[in-house]
């Protein structure tokens, strides 16, 4: 029974990621209704996402540390409480600043509790099929655009934005808090946590890990990867419209990217179990960079669909592999702290990418500079990934200084 409970952890982690990330990204659905209903600027409302990404990064690190020491259940409960509270408070906000703080800080911190800690917990339950398990948790994030966003749109068809956001917050509480009670450490980790001391030969400290070359390369690759794809993900609808696509067609391109990302998570997860995470990550990063460059000559709807499918498969597929590599390098005992720290670094790239892409378009009237810059950064991520040290489990004395 214990051997199969890991799949329950995977299901709960995927559910939490889907509701958490879906609630955060549903801001795109709420953007126009909020702007019309309040008179707040779209730029000001959109800035809530930047705040959310920064809070998500900090939260991933902090919640990962808490999960390592106190287990995932308390982290899941706290994330569920924060998510519902943020949506409820945002729905009652009477000023733009209050909305930015409620939506950005609360939802970002909540998603930070669902991302790195849940992947770390799932990885600790599996010795075989570990990459697949982590990819399935990550697949919950890929389901967000086709679950919470349509639900939000359905609510808006009959209610104002405040009521719709309030309902989503209440649903988040009702679903996530009971689900969090199912979270638990694997038996081996629970025994280790109850021990008075962990022998030095069985692992190394978080401080040693965060100062190692392995972590620096992991975090740098993760950052460059996210910086490369963040702009093209968020601006693809606008770019396709500029290139002559209708608004509906442009949205369908964005949706196809998300669906392809879901398939990419599963495909690259299976390949990583068979061939190792490092070579699959390098291949995925190269494919991502080439797909970013392929957006530039795309003009017809068919060309956009083809490029979007490849791009979505690549960026969706590589995301869980960073958690797999963190587990391979540093083991399960400090996995939450280490992967949370790497996620915090990557969120800086996610926060910067859309803003830089928007600035480039405002300054030059074209997205060409954004795609060219993202292509170069994407190839840089490939180069950094080649510097990963060998993957066998490292003891403290074998960690390389940064």
**Structural tokens at position 126:** 């599996």
Show Cβ contacts of residue 384 under 8 Å, excluding neighbours closer than 6 positions: 217, 220, 221, 224
Residue-level pLDDT at 395? 46
Residue-level pLDDT at 255? 79
- Go through the domains of the chain in sequence order and give each one's CATH number: 1-184 (1.20.1250.20), 205-391 (1.20.1250.20)
Residue-level pLDDT at 402? 59
Going by C-alpha positions, the residue among 37, 336, 398 that lies closest to residue 185 is 336
Residue-level pLDDT at 205? 82
Residue-level pLDDT at 196? 39
Going by C-alpha positions, the residue among 278, 291, 362 that lies closest to residue 324 is 278
Going by C-alpha positions, the residue among 178, 329, 304, 320 that lies closest to residue 249 is 304
DSSP 59: H
Cα dihedral sign for 207, 212, 215, 219? positive
Q: What 3-state class would DSSP assign to 367?
A: coil
**pTM of this structure:** 0.81
In a structure prediction context, what are the per-residue pLDDT tens digits for the chain, which is 402 residues long? 455 888 999 999 999 999 998 898 888 778 778 988 999 887 788 788 889 989 998 999 999 999 988 999 999 999 999 999 999 999 999 999 999 999 999 999 999 999 889 988 988 888 888 888 888 888 887 787 678 878 888 898 899 999 999 999 999 999 999 999 999 988 765 544 444 344 333 456 888 889 899 999 999 999 999 999 988 987 887 888 889 988 778 878 887 888 898 889 889 989 998 999 999 999 999 999 999 999 999 989 999 999 999 999 999 999 999 999 998 898 888 888 999 999 999 989 988 887 788 888 888 889 999 999 999 999 999 999 999 988 654 444 445 555
Residue-level pLDDT at 124? 86
**Structural tokens at position 170:** 């209440």
Length of the chain: 402
Going by C-alpha positions, the residue among 65, 53, 57 that lies closest to residue 344 is 57
């Amino acid at each position: 029974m214990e051997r199969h409970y890991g799949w329950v952890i995977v299901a709960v982690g995927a559910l939490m990621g889907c509701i958490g990330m879906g609630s955060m990204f549903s801001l795109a659905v709420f953007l126009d209704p909020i702007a019309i209903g309040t008179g707040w600027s779209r730029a000001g409302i959109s800035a809530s996402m930047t705040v959310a990404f920064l809070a998500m990064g900090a939260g991933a690190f902090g919640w990962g540390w808490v999960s390592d020491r106190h287990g995932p259940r308390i982290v899941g409960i706290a994330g569920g409480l924060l998510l519902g509270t943020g949506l409820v408070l945002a729905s009652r906000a009477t000023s733009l600043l209050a909305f930015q703080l409620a939506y950005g800080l609360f939802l970002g911190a909540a998603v930070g509790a669902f991302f790195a800690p849940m992947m770390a917990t799932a990885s600790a339950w599996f010795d075989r099929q570990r990459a697949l398990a982590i990819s399935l948790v990550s697949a919950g994030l890929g389901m967000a655009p086709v679950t919470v966003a349509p639900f939000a749109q359905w609510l808006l068809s009959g209610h104002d934005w405040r009521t719709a956001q309030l309902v989503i917050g209440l649903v988040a509480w009702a679903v996530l808090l009971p689900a969090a009670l199912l979270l638990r450490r694997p038996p081996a980790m629970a025994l280790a946590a109850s021990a008075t001391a962990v022998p030095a030969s069985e692992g190394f400290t978080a401080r040693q890990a965060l100062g190692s070359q392995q972590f620096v390369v992991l975090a740098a690759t993760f950052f460059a990867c996210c910086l490369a794809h963040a702009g093209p993900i968020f601006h693809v609808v606008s770019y396709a419209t500029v290139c002559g696509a209708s608004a509906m067609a442009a949205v369908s391109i964005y949706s196809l990217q998300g669906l392809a990302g879901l398939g990419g998570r599963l495909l690259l997860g299976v390949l990583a179990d068979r061939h190792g995470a490092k070579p699959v990550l390098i291949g995925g990063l190269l494919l991502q960079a080439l797909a970013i460059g392929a957006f530039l000559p795309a003009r017809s709807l068919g060309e956009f669909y083809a490029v979007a499918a490849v791009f979505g498969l690549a960026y969706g597929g590589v995301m869980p592999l960073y958690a797999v590599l963190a587990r391979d390098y540093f083991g399960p005992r400090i996995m939450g702290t280490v992967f949370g720290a790497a996620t915090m670094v990557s969120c800086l790239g996610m926060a910067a990418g859309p803003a830089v892409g928007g600035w480039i378009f405002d300054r030059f009237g074209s997205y060409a500079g954004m795609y060219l810059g993202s292509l170069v950064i994407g190839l840089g991520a490939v180069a950094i990934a080649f510097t990963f040290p060998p993957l066998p489990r490292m003891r403290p004395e074998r960690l390389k200084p940064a």
